[in-house]
Amino acid sequence: MNTLFRVALSGDFRKADDSAVYPDFDLRPLLKAPGVEIAYLDSASPLRSNDLEEFDALILLAHRFAPESAPRNGRLSIIARFGVGYDTVDVPTCTAADIALATTPDGVRRPVAVSIMTLILALTGKLMVKDKLTRQGPAGFAIRGEHMGVGLVGKVLGSLGIGNIGAELFRLAKPFDMKFIAHDPFADPELAAALGVELVGLDDVFSRADIVTVNCPLTAETRHLVNAERLALMRPTSFFINTARGPIVDQRALTDVLTRRQIAGAGLDVFEQEPTDPADPLFKLDNVIVTPHALCWSDQCFAGNGAADIRAVLDIQHGRIPRGIVNQAVLANPGFQRKLEEYRRQFAH
Ligand SMILES: NC(=O)c1ccc[n+]([C@@H]2O[C@H](COP(=O)([O-])OP(=O)(O)OC[C@H]3O[C@@H](n4cnc5c(N)ncnc54)[C@H](O)[C@@H]3O)[C@@H](O)[C@H]2O)c1
């Protein structure tokens, strides 16, 4: 029997000098929790199974949990992803190994929706161009009339996905008096109606929206969902925004329509290759605003993600099922239930 509940943090939470990479992630609730001990892993990615054998829980930033990462001794009980994307985690492996996978929808919902609004307002308001003109002095002022922005009233805001972030985007955009459309094969029609969102077919989002945003997960089905054919449905006045995952978009096809000015512009926080290649022709274009998969990163986002992960880990330590488990199937596994019972017996008093 293990007398301590041991929590691993993936090595990318720690700098070479041992200090925290993200001090807004407040570890104190974990450090103060009775019976809990924490330790950092090294920088191996995918994670190595041997390194995980001495732990009950793992808080995971960007490193990969691959099939070969599963510890063989069966102790690990929860992986708490710092964020909501879990394309870096092999979910069937977790379920087979009696490991629950938790994410932090409460932490990212508002920050990502805000970053989409930031890109919408920057693109339609020509923010980057006008910043440049101002720095040029009189020459820039003289041509400012050539760079009119685009008003949002009555424009159509479209989303691929109306989940955690997609729904929050519509909530935030409400006072801008736009029309809302979304495509989501698993949409909740009541939620859509409550938000004033018309649910439409996939291609309709591209042909009808003045601003197309991507808010679905990266899965085998959504890889290159945004391809040349769908981008060709957009108008020369339309904008495209992706803050979800890079490979949902065929980036070559997107670069092509932007280069030919077949769409007005794009705002991109995510890319097919990350970190990006500075030589990529995409970065030569002036109708694109790019951010390094970090536009939503803020003190509040990181504090929120950290708090949600710690809540999930301490729930497991007390034998409780955390909210929002991704692999719900694990809850029925006798092996997982036995682990929870043992934690309850040991720590829940
Ligand atoms: N840029 C960042 O830093 C950042 C941060 C957090 C999340 N994200 C990404 O944002 C995306 C959305 O996150 P979320 O929390 O809203 O997830 P979510 O699971 O709550 O919502 C995703 C929605 O997409 C829908 N969907 C699934 N397949 C679809 C398809 N083929 N077409 C259209 N919709 C489909 C689902 O039904 C669901 O409603 C994810 O890709 C996530 O990885 C990015």
Is 245 marked active-site? yes
SS3 144: helix
Task: Name the DSSP letter for residue 332.
Answer: G
The closest-lying atom of ligand 1 relative to the alpha carbon of residue 105 is 15
269 lines ligand 1 (CB under 6 A): yes
Distance CA 29, CA 26 (A): 7
The closest-lying atom of ligand 1 relative to the alpha carbon of residue 214 is 11
160 lines ligand 1 (CB under 6 A): yes
CA of 163 from ligand 1 middle (Å) equals 6
* Count of beta carbons in the 10 Å neighbourhood of residue 336: 23
Distance CA 69, CA 51 (A): 9
Please give the pLDDT value at position 85.
85
* Count of beta carbons in the 10 Å neighbourhood of residue 40: 15
Please give the pLDDT value at position 1.
66
Please give the pLDDT value at position 233.
98
Distance CA 132, CA 139 (A): 11
* Count of beta carbons in the 10 Å neighbourhood of residue 301: 23
What is the reported pTM?
0.91
- Taking CA atoms only, the protein residue closest to ligand 1 atom 1 is 243
110 lines ligand 1 (CB under 6 A): no
Q: What are phi and psi of 93, to 5 degrees?
A: -65, -45
Q: Where are the alpha helices (DSSP H) in 53-195?
A: 91-96, 105-124, 127-135, 138-142, 164-173, 189-195
Containing 206, the helix (H) or strand (E) segment is helix 202-208
For 295-348, write each residue's pLDDT tens digit.
999 999 999 999 999 999 999 999 999 998 999 999 999 999 999 999 999 998
User: If we measure between CA atoms, which residue out of 237, 231, 262 comes closest to residue 152?
Assistant: 237
CA of 215 from ligand 1 middle (Å) equals 4
* Count of beta carbons in the 10 Å neighbourhood of residue 207: 16
| DSSP per-residue letters across 308-331 | HHHHHHHHHHTTPPPTTBS-GGGG
CA of 295 from ligand 1 middle (Å) equals 16
CB 264 within 8 A of CB 237: yes
- Taking CA atoms only, the protein residue closest to ligand 1 atom 10 is 244
In tens digits, what is the pLDDT along the chain, a chain of 349 residues? Answer: 678 999 999 999 999 998 999 999 999 999 999 999 999 999 999 999 999 999 999 999 999 999 999 999 999 999 999 999 898 999 999 999 999 999 999 999 999 999 999 999 999 999 999 999 999 999 999 999 999 999 999 999 999 999 999 999 999 999 999 999 999 999 999 999 999 999 999 999 999 999 999 999 999 999 999 999 999 999 999 999 999 999 999 999 999 999 999 999 999 999 999 999 999 999 999 999 999 999 999 999 999 999 999 999 999 999 999 998 999 999 999 999 999 999 999 998 7
| Owner of token pair 């599963």 | 70
Please give the pLDDT value at position 346.
95
Task: Name the DSSP letter for residue 304.
Answer: H
CA of 113 from ligand 1 middle (Å) equals 11
Distance CA 219, CA 51 (A): 28
* Count of beta carbons in the 10 Å neighbourhood of residue 33: 18
| Owner of token pair 């694109």 | 288
User: If we measure between CA atoms, which residue out of 245, 251, 176, 253 comes closest to residue 211?
Assistant: 176
Please give the pLDDT value at position 309.
97
The rounded radius of gyration (Å) of the Cα atoms in the chain is 22
Is 293 marked active-site? yes
Distance CA 85, CA 122 (A): 25
For 76-93, write each residue's pLDDT tens digit.
999 999 999 898 999 999
In testing the pocket of ligand 1, which one of 61, 87, 115, 165 has its CB within 8 Å of the most ligand atoms? 165
Q: How far from the centroid of its chain's Cα atoms is residue 304's Cα? A: 13
